[in-house]
Amino acid sequence: MAQKATIAMVAKHAGVSVASVSRVINGTLARPATEEKVRAAIAELGFQPNSAARALKVRESEQICLSFADIGNPAYLTITQGINSVLRDTKYRLILSSSLGTADEIHNHLQSLGRGYADGLIISPITSTPEIAKAINSLTVPTVLIGTLPKDVLVDNVYIDSAKGIELAVAHLREIGCKKIALVNGPLSTNPGRRRHQGFVDAMNKVKLKYDDSSIYFARDFTSQAATELLEKDKTLHRYDAVLCTNDLLAAGVIRNLQSRSVRVGEDISVIGMDNTELCTLLNPSLTSVDLRAERRGQLAAELLLERIKNPLSAPRKIEVKPELVIRESTNMRAGTRK
């Protein structure tokens, strides 16, 4: 009697890894070329994928894992609320995990997530490298990525054009008369840092406002403490009409620093944040901020993941969410018209 085909035989015949065969069998995303080779090998060898899938498929955990770089960031908390609002009436419970910040840490973290203790993953890596892309593609559970999708990664994606948000902020500052605008950003090694930096450059050019390298400040991360530490060393920020910060936490640190030097925010200088978190209404003056629709992104990510779990062979989807500007007290015509 002929030997019964095994998953290892299929992998060898197709010239792919056993993990790739498993992804095709279990309906998680694989590259089209890989899927074609695997399915051809299955047909040629007479492999029985249905029974194999039942044997290989890990028993449902009824858990969804959510992985962020910083689960203490208010924007991520709002995304989590959006996800929970969708999962609340399902059988799934949400577990949180921090992927830390460096490329190696994210890569190792993603590998550990792929070991099958959750039925689905929602991830938001803050950096993109070929190694991270490879780790995401090797995941064998349904996955949705919130944020910038690395090149050649085949998962569902919810994203927002944060550069467009920067453009909205710069246009508003220009409209109220600001001509000298500074940017306070996080590290350029991160996806948000790079995209928002380029967005600032493009937006300033679009409205024909001058800037140079001294107009752009880089904090060690995206926290208020990082902004405070940065501005304690560099006390030149008050010479600008306005300061655009790439998240609300940085803006809070900027406002605290300016007020400690008796600079009146909203009168002497305008300040804008990004994310439109609850922090905006707690600050005095209240903070104008670009709403990056965190709750909506969370809802969409959860909906995509549930659909992926239900229909694992459907083509990956990509959904864009549009930013909005929410104007409050920290941007004022007076700050933009001072001599």
The rounded percent of the chain whose pLDDT value lies above 90 is: 59
Q: Are 266 and 335 in contact (CB under 8 A)?
A: yes
Q: What is the amino acid identity at position 107?
A: H
Whether pLDDT at 284 is above 70 = yes
Domains in the chain: ranges and CATH:
7-56 (1.10.260), 63-158+294-321 (3.40.50.2300), 162-292+325-336 (3.40.50.2300)
Q: Are 156 and 304 in contact (CB under 8 A)?
A: yes
Q: Are 243 and 184 in contact (CB under 8 A)?
A: yes
pLDDT digit string, tens, across residues 249-274: 999 999 999 999 999 999 999 999 99
Q: How far apart are alpha carbons 81 and 4 in whole angstroms?
A: 49
| Residue 271 β-bridge partners | 243
Q: For 100-164, what is the HEC assignment?
A: CCCHHHHHHHHHHHCCCCCCEEEEECCCCCHHHHHHHHCCCCCEEEECCCCCCCCCEEEEECHHH
Q: What share of the chain is helix, strand, coil (3-state, %, to 5)?
A: 45, 15, 35
Taking the CA atoms of 199, 200, 201 and 207 in sequence, report the sign of the dihedral they define.
positive
- Cα distance between the two ends of the chain: 93
Q: Write down the pLDDT at residue 126.
A: 84
pLDDT digit string, tens, across residues 194-251: 999 999 999 999 999 999 999 999 999 999 999 999 999 888 898 999 999 999 999 9
The residues, ordered by sequence, that sit 6+ positions from 40 with a Cβ below 8 Å of its Cβ are: 14
228: number of CA atoms within 13 Å, CB side? 9
Q: Are strands 288-291 and 324-326 parallel, antiparallel or unpaired?
A: antiparallel
pTM score, whole prediction: 0.80
Whether pLDDT at 292 is above 50 = yes
